[in-house]
Chain A
């Protein structure tokens, strides 16, 4: 009995260990004439990392730690400082996955080097092989396009553009087949994720996400996506709107619960995005239509205090104007309220929701770039 217990403990420890950080080494041997330095870039658990190593007679090495496989790029002697036309040289770089110890071998520079590593790197190479014929065709087409750009020969470009579009379509098919066939591959997940980084996370993404194995869904990025998908499920018609509490222009705290009994048009915004003027116009129009409809417009600003006060007074004097606070001006840390509403970065601004007098969403997230915005909201309010 005791033995079993110990065994179980050992297994649990092992399981924990397998999710813990592990060391990696990247060993490079390029052509013996290569001197200088290599820059290594990757993102680990959402943090961008940059490392550099000296290259002596083609030899260099990096050390680091990883939990999930790291998509990395190595660059040999990139241009330092301000890039001027005379400094531009073709980049000598290579991309690969770090999932243990990596060896990079080449008789020349980094481009075209042989990179050997673990399973993820092997998957990555497998995908590159699939892409090879497409890339070769693309290279030929780009070469044909180049002189047409300079002469602005749009007519001659058209058939080439159509061919390129066809290649891109094939690339998409290769990707989706690769994802389907490799549900336990971090490379497949990385491809999928790269197609799902922009815009708002929507419940429709779940089917795609759930193609992946449990192991993949339990990686750092996998858990992050799972969390966002769960949240997206809560941000649709009929669900209870998350609470908030921020100070208005007079320094008074305003919370969502204070506004019970009224429709709330909630806008997350910032002064400097394009096209702000269109956004402001459509909302001024909507405001006119909602005037006598038991509705308040609440703006949560992600600007510094002065910018917020000026822009709010100029454009939205009738709104309840709140500011998320100086700690959330950055594009990356939007704070817990924005996060609860699926607004994860400055790129998601502006975003808007319509909340009923009972505190429930009257519709899914609102498309603000709509000439009929006011008319649509007018129909939705209670």
Chain B
């Protein structure tokens, strides 16, 4: 009997190995495609967010303690949050691309701009967030901003592209990438 169990476990391990080899992490949605859930993360402030509410707009801001431009963008994000949090827009400051929890926790404590935001830590290497978001979306640089509305990914951009007019487009459900770019002075 014992032998049998050992054999089954071995077979299962072999199957798991094969599985790991042949399956790729599903691609992160392209703009316009569905996105309904948020990966498992550790919420340091606010949250938790797991299922994405189709009635809400989410602005996910990727940052790290080592990322100077991310930190430089925080006051701006905080200001946008103050102006739009009551208009159905949920801001998430998602720490990623670093694994030192202690460092992140301490940083969040000292940063006044993060006080009123939802702040999450992705977790250790190969965390749910790293696999389903960072790796699946091929992200190798930050800051990056993801705008989700009505359970669809609308835009993968940077915090510099967010301003009151762009956010108003989202509130009015009139958002298009072209319109947002035009508001940033980018000609198509």
Chain A: residues with CB nearer than 8 A to chain B? 274-275, 277-282, 284-285, 288-289, 371-372, 374-375
A-chain residues with CB within 8 Å of residue B156 when the two chains form the complex: 371
Q: How far, in angstroms, from A285 to B30 measured CA to CA in the complex? A: 7
B-chain residues with CB within 8 Å of residue A289 when the two chains form the complex: 30
Instruction: Assess whether A277 is in contact with B135, with CB atoms less than 8 Å apart.
Output: yes
Instruction: Assess whether B27 is in contact with A284, with CB atoms less than 8 Å apart.
Output: yes
Distance of B46 from chain A, by nearest CB (Å): 27
Q: How far, in angstroms, from A372 to B156 measured CA to CA in the complex? A: 8
How many residue pairs bridge A and B at CB < 8 Å? 29
Instruction: Assess whether B27 is in contact with A285, with CB atoms less than 8 Å apart.
Output: yes
Q: By CB atoms of chain A within 10 A, which of B27, B137, B138 has the most?
A: B138
* B31 is an interface residue with CB less than 8 A from chain A: yes
Chain B interface size range:
10 to 19
B-chain residues with CB within 8 Å of residue A275 when the two chains form the complex: 138, 140
A-chain residues with CB within 8 Å of residue B157 when the two chains form the complex: 371
Main secondary structure of the interface of A (DSSP, over half): helix
Chain B residue at smallest Cβ distance from A281: B138
Q: What are 27 A-B pairs at a CB distance below 8 A?
A: A274-B140, A275-B138, A275-B140, A277-B135, A277-B138, A278-B138, A278-B139, A278-B140, A279-B138, A280-B138, A281-B27, A281-B28, A281-B136, A281-B137, A281-B138, A282-B138, A285-B27, A285-B30, A288-B30, A289-B30, A371-B31, A371-B157, A372-B31, A372-B177, A374-B30, A375-B31, A375-B177
A-chain residues with CB within 8 Å of residue B135 when the two chains form the complex: 277
A-chain residues with CB within 8 Å of residue B137 when the two chains form the complex: 281
Chain B residue at smallest Cβ distance from A277: B138
Please list the 6 inter-chain residue pairs (A to B) with the smallest Cβ-Cβ separation, ordered nearest first.
Answer: A278-B138, A285-B30, A281-B138, A371-B156, A275-B140, A277-B138
Chain B residue at smallest Cβ distance from A274: B140
User: Which residues 126-165 of B sit at the A interface, judged by CB distance below 8 A?
Assistant: 135-140, 156-157
Chain B: residues with CB nearer than 8 A to chain A? 27-28, 30-31, 135-140, 156-157, 177
B-chain residues with CB within 8 Å of residue A371 when the two chains form the complex: 31, 156-157
Chain B residue at smallest Cβ distance from A279: B138
Chain A residue at smallest Cβ distance from B139: A278
B-chain residues with CB within 8 Å of residue A372 when the two chains form the complex: 31, 177
Main secondary structure of the interface of B (DSSP, over half): loop
Distance of B3 from chain A, by nearest CB (Å): 38
B-chain residues with CB within 8 Å of residue A288 when the two chains form the complex: 30
B-chain residues with CB within 8 Å of residue A280 when the two chains form the complex: 138
Q: How far, in angstroms, from A64 to B28 measured CA to CA in the complex? A: 59
Q: How far, in angstroms, from A371 to B141 measured CA to CA in the complex? A: 12
Distance of B72 from chain A, by nearest CB (Å): 13
Q: How far, in angstroms, from A282 to B29 measured CA to CA in the complex? A: 10
A-chain residues with CB within 8 Å of residue B27 when the two chains form the complex: 281, 284-285
Q: How far, in angstroms, from A284 to B24 measured CA to CA in the complex? A: 13
Distance of A130 from chain B, by nearest CB (Å): 34
Distance of A277 from chain B, by nearest CB (Å): 5
Q: By CB atoms of chain B within 10 A, which of A274, A280, A372 has the most?
A: A372
B-chain residues with CB within 8 Å of residue A277 when the two chains form the complex: 135, 138
A-chain residues with CB within 8 Å of residue B31 when the two chains form the complex: 371-372, 375
A-chain residues with CB within 8 Å of residue B177 when the two chains form the complex: 372, 375
Q: How far, in angstroms, from A275 to B25 measured CA to CA in the complex? A: 16
Chain A residue at smallest Cβ distance from B28: A281
Chain B residue at smallest Cβ distance from A154: B68
Q: How far, in angstroms, from A279 to B136 measured CA to CA in the complex? A: 12
Distance of B44 from chain A, by nearest CB (Å): 24
Q: By CB atoms of chain B within 10 A, which of A278, A281, A374, A375 has the most?
A: A281
Distance of B105 from chain A, by nearest CB (Å): 20
B-chain residues with CB within 8 Å of residue A281 when the two chains form the complex: 27-28, 136-138
Distance of A317 from chain B, by nearest CB (Å): 12
Contacts A281-B27, A284-B27 known; 19 new A-B pairs at CB < 8 A: A274-B140, A275-B140, A277-B138, A278-B138, A278-B139, A278-B140, A279-B138, A280-B138, A281-B28, A281-B138, A285-B27, A285-B30, A288-B30, A289-B30, A371-B156, A371-B157, A372-B31, A372-B177, A375-B177
B-chain residues with CB within 8 Å of residue A285 when the two chains form the complex: 27, 30
Q: How far, in angstroms, from A371 to B181 measured CA to CA in the complex? A: 14
Q: How far, in angstroms, from A284 to B139 measured CA to CA in the complex? A: 15
Distance of B172 from chain A, by nearest CB (Å): 22
Q: How far, in angstroms, from A374 to B177 measured CA to CA in the complex? A: 13
Q: How far, in angstroms, from A275 to B136 measured CA to CA in the complex? A: 13
Chain A residue at smallest Cβ distance from B29: A285
A-chain residues with CB within 8 Å of residue B140 when the two chains form the complex: 274-275, 278
Q: How far, in angstroms, from A278 to B136 measured CA to CA in the complex? A: 9
Distance of A311 from chain B, by nearest CB (Å): 13
Chain B residue at smallest Cβ distance from A276: B138
Distance of B137 from chain A, by nearest CB (Å): 7
Distance of A118 from chain B, by nearest CB (Å): 47
Chain B residue at smallest Cβ distance from A275: B140
Distance of A310 from chain B, by nearest CB (Å): 12
